[in-house]
Chains A and B, each alone.
Chain A
Amino acid sequence: MLILQCPCCGVDADETELSPGGEAHLKRYGPGSSEDDFEGYLFMRENPKGVHFERWRHAHGCGKWFHAARCTVTLEVFGTYPAQSYAPPQDILDRIAARRPGWRWREFA
């Protein structure tokens, strides 16, 4: 069972109280972008076995969106952080580096 601490209200929320929002830190390519960029934005995902960054919503709680860093294999949670972030905070990156040396996810490592 996955338990994530919602950074908006501080509750340790059970997975069944949350709604998954898919992969985190996508850059939106809208009208006027190239077909390749638009395709990448719509369809291309990391889908990793291991360290992953996702968006979640505390649906059966405060209702707010947030980000989570976790391992898709073990469900180990490295941390959660505000939705209003373009990149994972340094303390979470450090924690991942300590637990998964050599990890990589898009431009983050």
Chain B
Amino acid sequence: MSEARSALQGRSFDGIARIEDMGLCGMITLRGDLDDGTLQKAVTSVAGVDFPGRRKASLAEGRGLLWMSPDEIMVLLPHADAPGAARTLAAALSGTHHLVAEVSDARAVLRVSGPAAREVLAKLTPADVSPAAFGPGEICRTRLAQAAAAFWMSGEDSLDVVCFRSVAQYVFDLLATAAAPGGEVGHF
């Protein structure tokens, strides 16, 4: 098997916020009836976290479940665990209407951290990222300039951003430009 490499290969940028490649991250897309008990049990046992409610992110160290749409959940887990977990999930759901796809290598994950992290994202998304509207345990699916992206809070001053691998460089450059030194807005 070929050696997996993240799209950004560990790049980082330091400005009013730090932008960094999170490297190889495991991701599994699961579609199906999210109210189904069998599906909930199968995916929570693979992820090791609680089932997330609407627009919620259920996170633990290195693992998580993201609510992507009324019939879609994303599983976050270590990259090496993803293929096996996808097989386990598909086996547990045989007979239940569903779709499981391992998508780790289709995406890139970046971290935006520092006191101005929210401001950096606010420059790029039309979504309301003020502390009153968006906080820990939530996921926001939106766009960053011209690219689809989703993000959640991975710490008090840090947000993790996921985008398609094909636009990883574009999203990194966007974030780095928005985080350029001297670019503070001071709105939040």
Contacts and interface: CB of A to CB of B under 8 A. Distances in A.
A60 B55 contact: no
A105 B181 CA distance: 54
Given A14-B126, A14-B127, A61 B141 contact: yes
A16 interface: yes
A9 interface: yes
B70 interface: yes
B143 A62 contact: no
Interface string A3-16: 00000111110101
A8 B126 contact: no
* Interface SS of chain A: loop
B126 A16 contact: yes
Nearest to B149: A60
Contact of B143 (A11, A16, A63): A16
Interface residues of B, number: 13
Given A11-B55, A16-B126, A60 B142 contact: yes
Given A10-B54, A14-B127, A64 B141 contact: no
Interface in A41-89: 59-64
Contacts of B89: none
A53 B2 CA distance: 52
A9 B148 CA distance: 17
A94 interface: no
Contact of B69 (A12, A14, A16, A62): A62
B126 A62 contact: no
B57 interface: no
Interface of A: 8-12, 14, 16-17, 59-64
